[in-house]
């Protein structure tokens, strides 16, 4: 099975894009399942085939351990990791070609705590995976915000060690020219440096410039895909990237 993880800051559009990609794959006769890994979510725009809430819910954890909502979300994600093997077994028992995995709203829980790392490694073991890092295009329209998102996406990539695509989400909310300009900035660090120089002054400008240079130096060669879950934009491109990677067209890490 090939796993497609959707990651990104709260509200970046993970669940909505997961649902849109799932529908698109099914309507193209591609055998796909959809997995919810958020034990705290109330409502989802899809019906998960495998659901973290069948293993642990934030509500139960709050009651059982007498925790507040934030502590309970952390504890629930840690408890979920204990069930990683069972979750993998349930997913694999469905014998689909692709599993779309929607991750918790709080990016740091999945990307920066060992529970998320353990979950992703367990699921991916013996198969392939791709991570889609979502950045809300409205947020990315400001060069300094874009730089901070690029840095965040790189640090997530470094944590999970999976091939990663930078997905610009909600592109229906800005015009085509803005989308093209942002893609251009991401693909051309020198232009991004220029844009930052016009926006910031002093210490923060220097800091952003250093981050841009760092990303350039380490070869931040990430693929950018503009999408809109509402308009169905970019879903075919995401699938073609997943196909390329799952077919071995690009290295991916397997954990044995």
Ligand X SMILES: Nc1nc2c(ncn2[C@@H]2O[C@H](COP(=O)(O)OP(=O)(O)OP(=O)(O)O)[C@@H](O)[C@H]2O)c(=O)[nH]1
Could you list the residues that contact Mg ion (CB under 5 A)? 14-15
Contact 212, 170 (CB under 8 A): no
Q: How many CA atoms lie within 13 A of 12 on its CB side?
A: 28
Nearer to Mg ion, 46 or 252 (CB): 46
Instruction: Find the binding residues for ligand X in span 77-116 (CB under 6 A).
Output: 105
Pick 9 or 143: Cβ nearer Mg ion: 9
Residue 170 binds to ligand X (criterion: CB under 6 A): yes
Q: Which does 246 bind (CB under 5 to 8 A by kind): Mg ion, ligand X, none?
A: none
| Cα 241 from chain centre | 15
Between 10 and 218, name the residue whose CB sits nearer to ligand X. 10
CB atoms within 10 A of CB 113: 17
Binding residue for ligand X, selected from 78, 172, 199, 216, defined by CB under 6 A: 172
69 counts as binding ligand X under rule CB under 6 A? no
CB 128 within 8 A of CB 5: no
Binding window for ligand X (CB under 6 A); candidates: 22-30, 77-85, 156-164, 169-177: 169-177
Out of 52, 56, 58, 229, the only residue in the binding site for ligand X (CB under 6 A) is 229
Instruction: Give min distance, CB of 170 to ligand X, in A.
Output: 4
Helix or strand run (H / E) with residue 20 = helix 14-27
Half-sphere exposure of 27 toward its Cβ, with a 13 Å CA cutoff? 9
Q: 173 burial class (0-12, 13-18, 19+ CB within 10 angstroms)?
A: middle
Q: List residues near ligand X by CB under 6 A.
A: 8, 10-16, 105, 169-170, 172-173, 228-230
């Amino acid at each position: 099975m090939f796993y497609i993880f959707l990651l990104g800051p709260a509200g970046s559009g993970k669940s909505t894009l997961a649902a849109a990609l799932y529908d698109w794959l099914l309507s193209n006769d591609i055998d796909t399942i959809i997995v919810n890994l958020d034990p705290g979510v109330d409502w989802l725009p899809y019906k998960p085939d495998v659901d973290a809430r069948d293993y642990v819910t934030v509500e139960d954890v709050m009651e059982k351990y007498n925790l507040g909502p934030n502590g309970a979300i952390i504890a629930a994600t840690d408890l979920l990791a204990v069930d990683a093997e069972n979750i993998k077994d349930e997913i694999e028992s469905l014998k689909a070609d692709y599993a779309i995995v929607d991750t918790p709203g709080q990016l740091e829980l999945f990307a920066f705590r060992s529970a998320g790392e353990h979950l992703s490694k367990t699921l991916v073991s013996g198969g392939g995976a791709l991570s889609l890092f979502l950045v809300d295009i409205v947020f990315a329209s400001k060069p300094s915000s874009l730089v901070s998102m690029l840095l965040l996406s790189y640090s997530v990539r470094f944590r999970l060690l999976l091939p990663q695509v930078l997905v610009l989400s909600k592109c229906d909310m800005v015009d085509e020219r803005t989308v093209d300009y942002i893609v251009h900035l991401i693909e051309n660090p020198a232009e991004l440096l220029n844009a930052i120089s016009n926006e910031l002054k002093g210490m923060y400008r220097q800091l952003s410039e250093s981050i841009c240079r760092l990303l350039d130096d380490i070869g931040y060669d990430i693929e950018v895909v503009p999408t809109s879950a509402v308009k169905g934009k970019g879903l075919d491109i995401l699938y073609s990237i997943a196909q390329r990677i799952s077919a071995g067209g690009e290295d991916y890490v397997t954990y044995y």
